[in-house]
Structure formats: structure tokens, C-alpha cells
Amino acid sequence: MKNALRILALVLAVLFVFASCEKKSDDKKIVVAASSTPHAEILEQCIDTLKEQGYTLEIKVMDDYIIPNNATESGDVDANYFQHQPYLDEFNESNGTHLVTVAKIHYEPYAIYAGTSKSLDEIPEGAKIAVPNDPSNEARALQLLAAKGFFKLADGAGLKATKKDIIENPNNYEIVEMEAALLPSILDEVNAAVINGNYAIGAGLKVSEALAVEDAESEAAQTFANIIVVKEGNENNEKIKALVKAVQSDNVKNFIEATYDKAVIAIF
């Protein structure tokens, strides 16, 4: 009996040491779920920086809008990087999850692209300006047009603005509402169009050649910034702080500027 107890005690001691070592190892491993482009590419720039601090960064590419949040909630990953705040808010409300933002990293700007008019100065009275027809994207497009002086929106319209909120339109611009994905295909039928980044890039349009681009300080850019998200309660974990510091670095900002030709803008 005594020998059996000694063996049991030894086994328990070994298991305790193993568990302690595993926990210590977990504390130095950061697992992040991210979309392939540009999110995972941006995170890859942080691997060496974090390694110097004793952390191992593991990036799990998930080109999906549901799995990364569920994995973060369950603890299968430490954080995710693929979404903006409005999407996160809706996801938490619909799914009962407890996910929070720890950092804003970048936004993918809306821009005004030339149609039959090749510059802002060439856009005539009565010009046709195409915008996305879904509520959040249309509001964002209208805010950009208002910021560039096309017309004035009612105070407080914000990111819920519609055509009905245009209160001053001295040049009688005609706002043409259309499905976002179709906007690049009708540039030869309108004077200009406001197109969101992914559809513009997919159509071979260059943000750097657009007539005007959302400002990084605009309400839309701040609202739709892509964020690093963790489960509530993990915001102050040392490895999360290390991750945020590594991503919000000059190294990452320089990579973004050099790689994406203004289609992705650092917001830190």
C-alpha cells in the first residue's frame, strides 16, 4: 500500500510539473485568427518582433466571418483580426458572445473614381454620381461626397444618412443608387462613382489614382477600422499587450504603406 501511495504521489507531482510547464508555454504563444489578405499578411510582419520578446505568434488563416469570433469566444485562439466594430457589435448581440476590441489597425478606404469626368473640377452641374444602394455603404459614400463639397447633409445624419438627408445640392447632382458590386462596371455611364475598396481592387482600380479618398480621421474610417478582438477579460493579458504593440508599430505601418498602394491605410 505504501509503495502504491508513493507511486501515486510521484505521478501527481510529474503531472503538476507538466501542467505548469504547459501553462508557461501557453503564456508565450499567441494564436490569432485572421483573414488572409491583408490581415494575415500584416500579422506576419510581427513574428520576428514578438520572437525577440519571447513570444511565438501563430496565425490561423480563416476566410470566414463566423468561425474566428466563435474560436475567440471559446478560447481556441487568443485574438482575431478581420472585422470592424459595427460587425462585432452585431455579432455579440446576435450570438451572445463577449468579445471586445483592443486596438484599431487599418481601414480600407472608400474612394471616388472617375467615370466620364476625369477630375473633380470637370464634374458638371447635374452630373450623375453613383453610390452603393445598401444602407451602411450608401451612408458612407454620401459622407465622403459631402466631405468633398458635393452637397451638404443634415446635421446628425452620420452613418445612417440617405439621399433624403441631402439638404443643399446647389449643382443638382443626381445620386444613382446601385448594388455595390456593379459600380465598377458602370463607370462609363456616370460622371463618377463611390466604390468600396474590395470591389475597386477586384476591378483593377487603383486607390492611388482615385479622385478623392476617405480621410483617416473621418467618422467612417474610424467606425469601419479593422480591429484586433479578444474575449472580454483578456484585454490586459501581457501577451495581448505585446501583440497590440507589435502590430501598432512603425514596421507594420511602413509595410502597409509600401505594399497596398493606399488600398489599406494604417489608422494608428
Q: What is residue 190's three-state secondary structure? A: coil
Give the CB-side neighbour count of residue 237, counting CA atoms within 13 A.
19
- Judgement on whether residues 126 and 194 belong to the same structural domain of the protein: yes
- Judgement on whether residues 63 and 187 belong to the same structural domain of the protein: no
Domain finish residue from 173, 193, 214: 214
- For the chain, give the mean pLDDT: 91
Residue-wise burial string across 156-172, b where 16 or more C-beta atoms lie within 10 A, e elsewhere: ebebebeeebbeeeeee
- Judgement on whether residues 228 and 104 belong to the same structural domain of the protein: yes
The 10s digit of each residue's pLDDT in 108-128 is: 899 999 999 999 999 999 999
Residue 249 inside a domain? The answer is yes
What is the extent of the structural domain holding 95?
A: 25-108+224-266
Residue 202 inside a domain? The answer is yes
Q: Which pLDDT score is estimated for 1?
A: 58
- Judgement on whether residues 88 and 156 belong to the same structural domain of the protein: no
Residue 11 inside a domain? The answer is no
CB 130 within 8 A of CB 98: no
Residue 13 inside a domain? The answer is no
Residue 2 inside a domain? The answer is no
- Judgement on whether residues 146 and 182 belong to the same structural domain of the protein: yes
- Judgement on whether residues 183 and 256 belong to the same structural domain of the protein: no
* Whole-angstrom distance, CA of residue 195 vs CA of residue 111: 6
- Judgement on whether residues 29 and 100 belong to the same structural domain of the protein: yes
Q: How confident is the model at residue 25 (pLDDT cuts 50, 70, 90)?
A: low
> In the structure grid, which three cell numbers stand for residue 10, read together?
510521484
Q: Which pLDDT score is estimated for 7?
A: 57
The 10s digit of each residue's pLDDT in 172-224 is: 999 999 999 899 999 999 999 999 887 887 888 999 899 999 988 888 888 99
Q: Is the pTM here over 0.85, yes or no?
A: no
Residue 69 inside a domain? The answer is yes
- Number of domains the chain is built from: 2
Q: Which pLDDT score is estimated for 241?
A: 98
Residue 97 inside a domain? The answer is yes
* Whole-angstrom distance, CA of residue 242 vs CA of residue 182: 42
Amino acid in the structure at residue 255: F
- Judgement on whether residues 197 and 241 belong to the same structural domain of the protein: no
Residue 98 inside a domain? The answer is yes
DSSP readout, 133-147? -SHHHHHHHHHHHHH
Please work out, in degrees rounded to the nearest 5, the angle formed at the alpha carbon of residue 264 by the alpha carbons of 122 and 120.
5
* Whole-angstrom distance, CA of residue 128 vs CA of residue 149: 15
Domain CATH code at residue 196: 3.40.190.10
- Judgement on whether residues 115 and 199 belong to the same structural domain of the protein: yes
- Judgement on whether residues 228 and 210 belong to the same structural domain of the protein: no
- Judgement on whether residues 251 and 201 belong to the same structural domain of the protein: no
Fill in the DSSP letter of residue 173.
P
- Judgement on whether residues 74 and 125 belong to the same structural domain of the protein: no
Quick one: what percent of the chain has pLDDT higher than 70? Answer: 91
